């Protein structure tokens, strides 16, 4: 249920109503927007008499919220969520703040990550990505450098000032991620419905980049975000990264760009697009990135490698630093055109 409070109601009257609602065993999410205060009631609302609520002088309107996703629902949080990364002047995502996240699929060596970090920063990226713990289809493929990879990302952050984005596969590595102050913890497509992992991530305050599952629906993605938020962490960034369809010959996944405006309408969370995993092809990454920006994405996450042909993972979908520079310029132009 969503309760819209009349403008200019004194806070103590709102507090009184919230206490009364909480006594009915409801979770009450109070959102104070620029225009209005909205109360989102989560739980069994049957004991609440909707007509009585409507008749209160401080209440403007009451509506049902039958959607299964609650905390992420735009109905109870009308403005975009803006997630600020790091203390002070760190970059933000959402509400008009665009995240240009770039870097290799995997951190391979100190030289590689420092070089790519410098290149993507010079091109205008405001976040560095790089996998240290890699989910690979084959156990015989490169599995990532693990904790050494995290240390190398930290060095790249120190060298460039770029906040780092890297995937957490197992809750047992969470302590390491917190100790190294990983700025954005990625939940990969294979773990989107690992609910125990999501619950653990609900207990921390770090920003979480939550990818859409390999064959996940939009609703399943929202429910996964709900797991993190219901457990206390509001800093969730949604990521469309393509889903598995019957097409496999020409694209690795089918990038669902319609998910961007759908998600932006349903939720207040930032939405970013990963055209690298979304297509699996470097030649498709620029056009799909520009389309994602035009569709209203709050950011893109793109794989960039110093020498894609020799990459230890995902070389076929990795841009060279030069191609990324061209793309970053074009993204700037599309964003200007949209203003």
Give yes or no for residue 314 binding Mn ion (CB under 5 A). yes
C-beta of 249: minimal distance to Mn ion in Å?
A: 20
CA distances from 320 to 118, 257, 286, 292 (A): 13, 24, 12, 20
Nearer to ligand PEP, 64 or 141 (CB): 141
What is the C-alpha separation between 229 and 252, in angstroms, rounded?
31
Task: Find which of Mn ion, ligand PEP, none residue 169 binds, CB within 5 to 8 Å per kind.
Answer: none
Beta carbon nearer to ligand PEP, 39 or 164 = 164
Say whether residue 149 binds ligand PEP (CB under 6 A): no
Within residues 180-199, the interface with ligand PEP by CB under 6 A covers: 188-190
Shortest separation between residue 306's beta carbon and ligand PEP, angstroms: 16
Among 241, 264, 268, 305, binds ligand PEP (CB under 6 A): 241
Indicate which of ligand PEP, Mn ion, none lies near residue 241 (CB less than 5 to 8 Å, by partner kind): ligand PEP
Give dist(CA 168, CA 180) in Å, integer: 13
In the complex, the smallest distance separating the C-beta of residue 272 from ligand PEP, rounded to whole angstroms, is: 11
**165 in contact with Mn ion (CB under 5 A):** no
Q: Residue ranges of the alpha helices (H) in the chain? A: 11-22, 50-55, 110-123, 147-160, 174-179, 195-202, 218-230, 259-266, 275-279, 285-294, 321-338
Pick from 40, 91, 131, 270 the residue near ligand PEP by CB under 6 A. 131
Phi-psi region of 76 (alpha: psi -120 to 50; beta: other; left: phi over 0): alpha
Between 71 and 184, name the residue whose CB sits nearer to ligand PEP.
184
User: What single DSSP character describes residue 204?
Assistant: S
Nearer to ligand PEP, 4 or 164 (CB): 164
- 3-state SS track over 16-81: HHHHHHHCCCCEEEEEECCCCEEEEEECCCCCCCHHHHHHCCCEEEEECCCCCCCCCEHHHCCCCC
Query: Does residue number 105 form part of the binding site for ligand PEP (CB under 6 A)?
Result: yes
Query: How many other CB atoms are found less than 10 A from the CB of residue 141?
Result: 11
Would you mind telling me the total number of residues written for the chain in this entry?
A: 339
Q: In this structure, what are the phi and psi dihedrals at residue 177, rounded to the nearest 5 degrees?
A: -60, -35
**Residue 105 makes contact with Mn ion by CB under 5 A:** yes
Q: Which is nearer to ligand PEP, 171 or 190 (CB)?
A: 190
228 and 208 Cβ atoms separated by less than 8 Å? yes
**What's the closest the beta carbon of residue 136 comes to ligand PEP, in angstroms?**
8
Indicate the residue among 75 and 129 with the shorter CB distance to ligand PEP. Answer: 129
Cβ atoms within 10 A of the Cβ of 120, count? 29
Question: In terms of CB distance, is 75 or 157 closer to ligand PEP?
Answer: 157
Interacting residues with ligand PEP between 268 and 297 (CB under 6 A): 274, 277
Kindly list the residues in this chain that would bind ligand PEP in the complex (CB under 6 A): 105, 131, 135, 188-190, 211, 241, 274, 277
Kindly list the residues in this chain that would bind Mn ion in the complex (CB under 5 A): 105, 314
């Amino acid at each position: 249920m969503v309760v819209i409070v009349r403008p200019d109601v004194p806070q103590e009257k709102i507090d009184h109503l919230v206490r009364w609602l909480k006594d009915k065993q409801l979770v009450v999410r109070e959102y104070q927007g620029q225009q209005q205060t909205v109360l989102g009631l989560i739980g069994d609302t049957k004991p609440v008499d909707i007509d009585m609520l409507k008749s209160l002088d401080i209440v403007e309107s009451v509506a049902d919220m039958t959607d299964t996703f609650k905390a992420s629902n735009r109905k109870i949080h009308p403005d975009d969520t803006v997630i600020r990364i790091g203390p002070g002047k760190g970059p933000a995502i959402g509400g008009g703040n665009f995240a240009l996240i770039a870097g290799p699929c995997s951190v391979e060596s100190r030289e590689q990550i420092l070089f790519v970090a410098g290149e993507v920063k010079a091109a205008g990226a405001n976040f560095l990505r790089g996998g240290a713990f890699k989910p690979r289809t084959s156990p015989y493929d490169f599995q990532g450098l693990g904790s050494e990879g995290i240390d190398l990302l930290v060095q790249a952050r120190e060298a460039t000032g770029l906040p780092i984005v890297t995937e957490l596969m197992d809750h047992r590595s969470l302590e390491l991620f917190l100790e190294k102050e990983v700025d954005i913890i990625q939940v990969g497509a294979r773990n989107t419905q690992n609910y125990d992992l999501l619950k653990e991530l609900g207990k921390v305050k770090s920003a979480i980049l939550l990818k859409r599952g390999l064959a996940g629906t939009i609703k399943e993605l929202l429910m996964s975000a709900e797991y993190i938020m219901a457990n206390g962490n509001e800093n969730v960034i949604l990521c469309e990264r393509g889903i598995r369809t019957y097409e496999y010959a020409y694209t690795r996944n089918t990038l669902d760009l319609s998910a961007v405006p759908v998600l932006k309408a349903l939720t207040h969370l930032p939405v970013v697009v990963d055209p690298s995993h979304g297509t699996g092809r470097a030649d498709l990454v620029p056009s799909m990135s520009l389309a994602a920006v035009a569709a209203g994405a709050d950011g893109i996450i793109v794989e960039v490698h110093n020498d894609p042909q020799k990459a230890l993972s995902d070389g076929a979908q990795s841009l060279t630093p030069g191609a990324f520079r061209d793309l970053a310029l074009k993204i700037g132009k599309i964003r200007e055109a949209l203003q």
